[in-house]
Amino acid sequence: MTVNDVAEYLSKPCSWVYGNWKRELIPFRKVGQSLRCRRNDLEKWLDEQS
């Protein structure tokens, strides 16, 4: 998933995702200069936030 996909999935603006991904430990990986996240990793991360 791209940053835009994650932002849409979380109902947050892209600026929030970019500003908080390191602090919130959103499971992104750098691919070149882009951030990518697997849907399963994102869902697992969301489950851990509860």
pLDDT in tens, 2-40: 999 999 999 999 999 999 999 999 999 999 999 999 999
Q: Confidence class of residue 50 from pLDDT cuts 50, 70 and 90? A: confident
Burial 10-29 (b: 16+ CB within 10 A, else e): eeeeeeebeeebeeeebbbe
Domains in the chain: boundaries: 3-42
pTM over 0.75: yes
* Residue-level length of the chain: 50
